[in-house]
Amino acid sequence: MRDARLTPKAKDYIDSLMFKAALTHFQKLIILGYADNTGSKGLNDSLSLARARSVQQYLVGSGSSEKDITLVTGKGQIGRAKNTNGYPEDRKVLIIVDRTSGTPMAVPQSSKVSPFATVKVNETISLDHIFFEGGSDILLSTSEPEIDTLFRFLKDNPTVHILITGNICCMGEPTGADQEYKESNLSTMRAKAIYDRMTARGIAAGRMKYNGVGNAHPKVYPEKTAADQTRNRRVDIKILSR
């Protein structure tokens, strides 16, 4: 529970990412370690950093260049209600492709206007192309274009403040609403995953808030197909100020 070493399962998972070319040796990477909230804050800060460094060492040992790992840091404990055994899913490390490093690609003049450009204060826009592993807050690589769009918008509009709201699918399941409903917090953790990606790329934490509403606000109801569930499994962005 308080161990920073990689388990055989974790090593197999990293190996599988390399095998599928989801991780390649030329990428610039950010490694973020986390801990659950058992133990003291100071211990969890140290433990989360140690976990991140364990992943860094494994990647370097597997052929990645140390200079291509641009940031290794511990994010400390994930805040939520305490319980006796903690939360195994909070004892994790995120490996993020750092798309802010290197020479930026030229943006074609014909590229589309950001979907956030016309959103007014107190209006909400859905990130419909943000995808997570099932039952997890781990982002899939197919989410990168949408994440890049949000990052560019926030970078280019430094006075904008936003609220990131996580939503999950599947009506009637016990993993539904969280926060005020005091049940699962998967939707909150998915919102925080976007928050963490933005802060890791340099967006000030004070410009963002995040929360989760479980499955309380579906876009599609009732859900009849897998596509309906995908539409409900989303992250919404509300513009708080400009």
Is residue 106 in some structural domain? no
Average confidence (pLDDT) over 82-86: 77
Domain boundary among 66, 101, 136: 101
Query: Does residue 89 sit in the same domain as residue 125?
Result: no
**CA separation for the pair 103, 106 (Å, rounded):** 9
Average confidence (pLDDT) over 213-228: 78
Is residue 199 in some structural domain? yes
Residue 71 has pLDDT above 50, yes or no: yes
- Range picked from 84-88, 118-122, 172-176 for highest mean pLDDT: 118-122
- The single-letter code of the amino acid at 222 is P
pLDDT category, 178, cuts 50, 70, 90?
A: very low
Residue 69 has pLDDT above 60, yes or no: yes
Q: What integer pLDDT is reported at residue 177 of this predicted model?
A: 41
Query: Does residue 68 sit in the same domain as residue 122?
Result: no
Is residue 107 in some structural domain? no
- As a whole-number percent, the residues of the chain with pLDDT over 70 amount to 83
Query: Does residue 116 sit in the same domain as residue 89?
Result: no
For residue 8, give the CATH number of its domain: 3.30.1330.60
Query: Does residue 53 sit in the same domain as residue 170?
Result: no
Query: Does residue 60 sit in the same domain as residue 129?
Result: no
Tell if the pTM clears 0.85, that is, is over it: no
Q: Which residue has the higher pLDDT, 18 or 8?
A: 8
Return contacts of 146-154, CB within 8 angstroms, 24+ apart: 147/194, 147/197, 148/99, 149/114, 149/115, 149/116, 150/116, 150/194, 150/198, 150/237, 151/100, 151/197, 151/198, 151/201, 151/203, 152/114, 153/114, 153/116, 153/117, 154/198, 154/203, 154/207
Query: Does residue 118 sit in the same domain as residue 235?
Result: yes
Query: Does residue 85 sit in the same domain as residue 168?
Result: no
Domain boundary among 80, 101, 122: 101
Query: Does residue 230 sit in the same domain as residue 132?
Result: yes
Is residue 120 in some structural domain? yes
As a 3-state breakdown, the chain gives helix, strand, coil percent values, each rounded to 5, of 35, 20, 45
Average pLDDT, the chain: 80
Query: Does residue 32 sit in the same domain as residue 136?
Result: no
pLDDT tens digits along 117-162: 788 899 988 887 887 766 777 777 778 888 888 999 999 999 999 9
Query: Does residue 120 sit in the same domain as residue 235?
Result: yes
**CA separation for the pair 196, 53 (Å, rounded):** 18
- As a whole-number percent, the residues of the chain with pLDDT over 90 amount to 21
Query: How many angstroms separate the Cα of 222 from the Cα of each of 166, 174, 232?
Result: 19, 16, 11
User: How many domains, the chain?
Assistant: 2
Q: Which residue has the higher pLDDT, 24 or 218?
A: 218
Question: Which ranges of 170-213 would DSSP assign to H, the alpha helix?
Answer: 186-200
Query: Does residue 176 sit in the same domain as residue 229?
Result: yes
Domain that holds residue 237: 112-242
Residue 108 has pLDDT above 50, yes or no: no
Residue 174 has pLDDT above 60, yes or no: no
pLDDT tens digits along 19-30: 666 666 667 888
Q: What integer pLDDT is reported at residue 237 of this predicted model?
A: 93
pLDDT category, 106, cuts 50, 70, 90?
A: very low
pLDDT category, 231, cuts 50, 70, 90?
A: confident
Q: Which residue has the higher pLDDT, 207 or 89?
A: 207
